[in-house]
Each structure stands twice: as C-alpha cells, then as structure tokens.
C-alpha cells in the first residue's frame, strides 16, 4: 500500500526494479521512510541555498543502479564525500556493502544519513575546502577503494565559494571554476591508486572549452571506464547529466571507454571507443557507424574556420529595423525581403534538434543579438554555406558531434559553426549548390517545390562529402528521428 503514497516519479522508477522476497519487503518499509525523510528535508531547503550549494539529492533508484554497475566488492571502502542525505550509502547498505563512509557540509543532512544507514560512518566536514589529509584523518581512513556520488554543481562566484588554499582554488579556476570540478579533483586525491570514482556530473564536461584542462588530464592520465548519458535526469537542475566512472590509473594503449545510455530503468546500448581516440572533446558515439561518419567528415575535409576568415558572432545592432532571430526562416524571412547583395549570413541563434539550422542570406542588412552573423568574402560563398548549413549532413554533424546529442535547446554559436566540414574543392557541386539555394530563396516557403529543392540540395551535399549508401541512410534515419515532420513534404 505504501507505494501509492510515493511521488509518481519515484513509484515509476521503483516498478522497474526486480521484486521482492520477504526480507526485501522489510527493507522497503525502511526505504519508504527514508524516501519520506529525504524528500521532506529537500523540500524545506531554501531555493537560493540549494542553487548556491548545488543541493539536489539523487533518488535511490539511480544510486542503486550505479552501485550495481561498478566492479567493486562488498568489503571495499566506499565514500561519498558530498553525501547529502546519503542515497548512495543507503543503497550500498541495502546491497550489503560493509564499509560505507559519508561526509557533507550540511549537518542536518548528515543526521538523516546516520539515521537510515545504520552501518555508515558519517561526519560533517567541508570536503571541498579541507585538505584530503584532513578528510582522511577525520574518518581514520587509510585507503578509499571507491568514491561515489553526485557532487554539487555551481559556478564559483560571490555567492558560491570554497574555503580552500590558493593553489587548490587556482587549479579549479583553470579547469572551469565549478564546485563539481573541485569535487572531481578532490576525489583523485582521496581515492587509492587503482581505485574507482563514479560521479554524476554535468554532461557538458565532455565537450565545453571551460573544462578542457581537467578533461585532457583525465584522458591522458586516468582510465575512463564508462560514460553513461542519463539525459536531463534532475528536473530542477539545468542541463543534462552523465555518470562518469574513472579508474585512478594510467590508461593502457588498448583501453576502450564504454559509452551507454539510460533507457527506462537500465544502462543500455554499449559502444566501445578507444580512449586514445580522444585528445580533448569526448563525443558520445551511439554506434561505430556514427564514429565512421565522424572520421570521414573530419579527416577528409577542412573545417569552416579554415575557409571563412570573416566575422562569426552575434549581431550587435539595436536599430529598430535590424533583423531579429524570430524573423528568419530557412532561406528567407517572414517580413524582410532577401537582399540582393552583400556578404553576410544570418542564423537564428537558438538551435533546436527539431528544426536544425534556420538561416538566410543577410546581404547588407543589420542584425540584432538574437542572430549569429557569418560573414564571408563573396556572395556566392554565402549562398554555398547557406546550402550546407541547412543540409541533413551538417545538422547531423552539429547535433551528434558538436552538441553531443543534447536534447536541449542549443545556440548556433561560432565555436560550433567553425567546426562544420566543407569540401569547396568540388567546384561542380559548389555551383550546383549555389544554384539550388538561389532557387529556394525565390520559391514559396514550404511549398511542394520548396521541399523538392531541399531534397535536391541534400542529394548534392551527400555527394560532395562522398558518403556511401549506408552512411547516407543512417543520417537520413537519424535526422528523421530528431527533425519535426514540418520539414518533410506531406509531413513524412
Ligand atoms: C547534488 S547534492 C548530492 C547529495 C548526494 N550525494 C546525493 O547524491 O543525493 C550535493 C551535496 O553536496 C553538499 N556540499 C556542497 N558543498 C560541500 C562542501 N564544500 N563539502 C561537503 N559537502 C558539500 C551539499 O550539501 C549537498 O548535499
């Protein structure tokens, strides 16, 4: 009966889990009481405090799945250094782990952990500010086999600070200045050689520039065992998350990272990619075919930044007549006539997986800051780029390899656009693409003829990149999954 009283999402997740023998039922009462205690405590916390200190607790379901997936034994020392109300350690206790340790800066959350994890060792301590020696001494711990948890995420600023020494603060600042970066670095200090760290962290750790120092160090010096994409798991946290599991040891030459995805209640779709394939950004390939397409497009062609040396950035005009993002549509405008001359492309700055790039020839018009402007030397080149930008190949490349399969709204910013591969040596198709774009500019928007021209453009662009039938079909299928039916003739 008590299941009915649980919040709906908790209930849905619970039903995904194996059931139940008599001892489990007793456990479940404990779990129910635990969930009540942790949920009501989290609700009491002021929103400002939660945001500044990155407080959002992990549900027992996910904590349990993560622990089950780790290659650890029941005697291992498991530590969650930012344990909150202790969902990881509660799950560890349920699964029979003997040596569980938890710390948190928040005294009340530690009291809840103590109450529900009878075999746990808990202390209230600032694990991001204190030295790792102090933390180990406080626990009387020699070695930590495994660090788990969901560390706080929040950018360091006047409201979010860490009370640590200058050297540590500089290290954090050089790697993205965020609480979760501090937690990751601390975890490497705390865990034994060859020990494991399994943390839920923001997915953008995999690809954004701010985190590149730490990411590159991890790629070079640690063994990444698994990366699991869990999407936007926490409804009240911005962005998407991953589970990153790392072994504190040098990677071997042949080591492969296993990528997975959370599907309903399991970690599925494993794909193995050599760790040494990555130097900096870590792309989550969903299949080997995806990786092949990436290699083909990246290695065979130059990037847009090699060819376009003009301005790529936001519009700056505040003039009333300047074009805004919402006025742009594919190959034209809602209220503005496509100009005859000039060398700018206007791109809606908001990028969604459903629509892909939405851009038009900007000529000599002025653009507001909701537009990304791409300026190039010639009008012809602008038309060619407009064709490429709207192609399925280009949108596939952006979604998969630049936005790392994010389901959220992204921005068509310079750093992503600059990576788009181009094959301008193919003069014949260059002219055909320009020609097709000019026809699209003069065609009635979303008319049958307009859709036919878009198909023609796609065909030309598949050819120019020399993609084979399998690769082309795969891109078509992937884009059909993400593009809205609006972009298909008759909605199909
Ligand atoms: C995202 S919550 C996760 C809690 C728990 N690991 C879980 O998964 O449910 C992050 C936790 O980090 C704690 N925290 C924030 N700053 C801390 C610090 N400097 N030292 C220790 N804990 C900290 C917060 O109080 C919060 O409980």
Q: Is 126 in the pocket of ligand 1 (CB under 6 A)?
A: yes
Q: Using one digit for the tens of pLDDT, what is the confidence trace for 132-155?
A: 999 999 999 889 999 999 999 999
CB 179 within 8 A of CB 172: no
* Contact yes or no for 181/208 (Cβ under 8 A): no
Quick check: 39 and 236 in contact, CB under 8 A?
no
Q: Ligand 1 pocket, 149 CB below 6 A? A: yes
Instruction: Tell me, using a 6 A CB cutoff, whether residue 56 lines ligand 1.
Output: yes
Sign, Cα dihedral of 393, 399, 405, 409 = negative
Q: Is 471 in the pocket of ligand 1 (CB under 6 A)?
A: no
Taking only the tens place, the pLDDT of each residue in 37-84 is 999 999 999 988 898 889 999 999 999 999 999 999 999 999 999 999
Q: What is the mean pLDDT of residues 233-240?
A: 87
Phi, psi (rounded to 5 degrees) for 481:
-70, -35
Task: Report the nearest-CA residue for atom 2 of ligand 1.
Answer: 55
Contact 84 CB / ligand 1 (< 6 Å): yes
The verdict on the CB of residue 86 being under 6 Å from ligand 1 is: no
Helix axes 132-139, 179-190, angle to 10 degrees: 60
- Is 148 touching ligand 1 by the criterion CB < 6 Å? no
What pLDDT is attached to residue 379?
A: 93
Structure tokens given for 47? 């929103």
Percent pLDDT > 70 in the chain is 95
236, two tokens: 């009240």
**Residue nearest to ligand 1 atom 18, measured at CA:** 126
Position 477 pLDDT exceeds 90 = yes
Q: How much is the mean pLDDT over the chain?
A: 92
Give the distance (Å) from ligand 1 centre to CA of residue 167: 22
- The CB of 59 under 6 Å from ligand 1? The reply is no
Q: Ligand 1 atom 10: the closest Cα is on which residue?
A: 152
- Residue 8 pLDDT level (bands cut at 50, 70, 90): very low
Are 73 and 54 in contact by the 8 Å Cβ rule? The answer is: no
Ligand 1 atom closest to Cα of residue 151: 10
Separation between Cα atoms, residue 206 and residue 214, nearest integer Å = 10
Predicted local confidence at residue 17, as pLDDT: 34
- Best probe residue, ligand 1, of 60, 104, 168, 169 (max atoms within 8 Å of C-beta): 104
Radius of gyration over every alpha carbon of the chain, rounded to an integer in angstroms? 26
**Cα(408) to centroid of ligand 1, in Å?**
25
Question: Among candidates 100, 105, 115, which has minimal Cα distance to 45?
Answer: 105
Residue range 289-310: average pLDDT? Answer: 93
Does residue 12 register a pLDDT over 50? no
- Using H for helix, E for strand and C for coil, what is the string for the chain? CHHHHCCHHHHHHHHCCCCCCHHHHHHHHHHHHHHHHHHHHHHHCCHHHHHHHCCCCCCHHHHHHHHHHCCCCCCCEEEECCCCCCHHHHHHHHCCCCEEEEEECCHHHHHHHHHHCCCEEEEECCCCCCCHHHHHHHHCCCCCCEEEECCCCCECCCCCCCCCCHHHHHHHHHCCCEHHHHHHHHHHHHCCCCCEEEEEEEHHHHCCHHHHHHHHHHHHHCEEEEEEECCCCCCCCCCCEEEEEEECCCCCCCCEEEEEEEECCEEEEEEEEEHHHCCCCCCCCCCHHHHHHHHHHHHHCEEHHHHCCCCEEECCCCCCCCECHHHEECCEECCCCCCCCCCEEEEECEEECCCECCEEECCCCCECCCEEEEECCCHHHHHHHHHHHHCHHHHHHHHHHHCCCCCCCEECCHHHHCCCEECCCCHHHHHHHHHHHHHHHHCCCCCHHHHHHHHHHHHHHHHHCCCCHHHHHHHHHHHHHHCCHHHCHHHC
Overall size of the chain counted in residues: 492
Ligand 1 pocket test: pick from 151, 172, 235 the residue with the most ligand atoms within 8 Å of its Cβ.
Answer: 151
Question: Which of 39, 54, 64, 82 most suits a substitution to test ligand 1, by most atoms within 8 Å of the C-beta?
Answer: 82
Alpha-carbon distances of 488 from 149, 168, 330, 353, 461, rounded to whole Å: 44, 53, 13, 15, 17
Q: State the CB neighbour count (10 A cutoff) for residue 482.
A: 17
- Report residue 3's pLDDT band, with 50, 70 and 90 as the boundaries: very low
CA distance 190 to 243: 19
Domains of the chain and any CATH numbers: 2-284 (3.40.50.150), 302-491 (3.90.220)
Residues 342 and 362: beta-carbon distance below 8 Å: yes
Distance from Cα 207 to the centre of ligand 1, integer Å: 24
Nearest alpha-carbon partner for 239 in 67, 61, 417, 403? 403
Determine if ligand 1 sits within 6 Å of the CB of residue 152: yes
Task: State the distance from the centre of ligand 1 to the C-alpha of 33, rounded, in angstroms.
Answer: 21
Question: pLDDT above 90 covers what percent of the chain?
Answer: 85
CA–centroid distance, 54 to ligand 1, in Å, is: 7
Is there a contact between 308 and 373 (Cβ–Cβ < 8 Å)?
Answer: no
Neighbours of 264 (CB within 10 A): 8
Please list, in sequence order, all residues whose beta carbon lies within 8 angstroms of the beta carbon of residue 489, skipping any fewer than 6 positions away. Answer: 448, 451, 452, 455
CB of residue 77 inside a 6 A radius of ligand 1? no
pLDDT digits (tens, 9 = 90+) for 407-429: 888 999 999 999 999 998 888 99
Interval between CA 45 and ligand 1 midpoint (Å)? 13
**Closest by CA position to 160, among listed 15, 53, 42:** 53
pLDDT in tens, 358-400: 999 999 999 999 999 999 889 999 999 999 999 999 999 999 9
153 alpha carbon – ligand 1 mean position (Å): 9
Q: Is the CB of 106 under 6 A from ligand 1?
A: yes
Give me the pLDDT at residue 21, please.
35
Question: Using CA of residue 481, residue 487, residue 488, residue 492, what is the dihedral sign?
Answer: positive
| 465 in Cβ contact with 424 (< 8 Å) | no
* Gap from CA of 126 to ligand 1 centroid (Å): 9
Residue nearest to atom 16 of ligand 1 (CA): 53
Question: What is the pLDDT at residue 338?
Answer: 95
């Amino acid at each position: 009966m008590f299941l009915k009283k649980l919040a709906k999402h908790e209930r849905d997740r619970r039903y995904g889990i194996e059931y139940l023998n008599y001892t489990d039922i007793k456990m479940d009462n404990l779990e129910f009481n635990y969930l009540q205690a942790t949920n009501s405590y989290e609700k009491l916390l002021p929103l400002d405090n939660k945001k500044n200190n990155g407080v959002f607790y992990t549900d027992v379901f996910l904590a349990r799945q993560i622990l089950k997936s780790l290659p650890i034994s029941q005697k291992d020392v498991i530590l969650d250094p930012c344990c909150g109300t202790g969902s990881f350690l509660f799950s560890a206790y349920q699964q029979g782990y003997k040596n569980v340790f938890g710390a948190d800066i928040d005294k009340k959350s530690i009291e809840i952990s103590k109450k529900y994890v009878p075999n746990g060792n808990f202390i209230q301590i600032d694990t991001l500010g204190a030295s790792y020696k102090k933390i180990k001494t406080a626990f009387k711990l020699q070695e930590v086999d495994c660090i788990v948890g969901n560390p706080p995420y929040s950018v360091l600023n006047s409201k979010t600070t860490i009370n640590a020494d200058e050297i540590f603060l500089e290290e954090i600042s050089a790697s993205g200045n965020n609480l979760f970066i501090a937690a990751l670095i601390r975890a490497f200090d705390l865990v034994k050689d060859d020990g494991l760290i399994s943390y839920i962290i923001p997915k953008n750790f995999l690809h954004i520039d701010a985190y590149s120092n730490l990411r590159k160090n991890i790629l070079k010096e640690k063994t990444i065992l698994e990366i699991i994409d869990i999407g936007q798991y926490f409804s009240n946290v911005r962005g998407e998350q991953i589970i990153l599991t790392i072994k504190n040891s040098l990677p071997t030459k042949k080591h492969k990272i296993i990528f997975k995805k959370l599907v309903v209640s399991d970690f599925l779709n494993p794909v193995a990619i050599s760790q040494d394939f990555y130097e900096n950004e870590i792309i989550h390939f969903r299949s080997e075919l995806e990786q092949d397409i990436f290699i083909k497009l990246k290695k065979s062609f130059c990037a847009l930044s090699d060819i376009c040396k003009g301005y790529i950035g936001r519009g700056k005009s505040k003039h009333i007549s300047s074009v805004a993002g919402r006025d742009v549509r594919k190959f034209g405008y809602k209220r503005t006539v496509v100009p005859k001359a000039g060398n700018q492309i206007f791109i809606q700055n908001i990028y969604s997986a459903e629509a892909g790039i939405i851009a038009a020839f900007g000529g000599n018009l002025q653009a507001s800051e909701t537009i990304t402007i791409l300026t190039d030397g010639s009008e012809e080149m602008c038309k060619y780029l407009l064709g490429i930008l709207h192609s399925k190949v280009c949108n596939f490349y952006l979604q998969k390899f630049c936005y790392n399969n994010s389901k959220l709204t992204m921005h068509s910013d310079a750093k992503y656009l600059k990576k788009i591969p181009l094959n301008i040596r193919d003069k014949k198709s260059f002219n055909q693409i320009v020609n097709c774009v000019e026809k699209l500019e003069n065609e009635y928007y979303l008319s049958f003829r307009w859709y036919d021209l878009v198909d023609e453009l796609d065909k030309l662009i598949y050819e120019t990149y020399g993609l084979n039938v399998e690769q082309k079909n795969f891109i078509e299928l992937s884009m059909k999954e993400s593009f809205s039916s609006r972009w298909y003739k008759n909605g199909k």
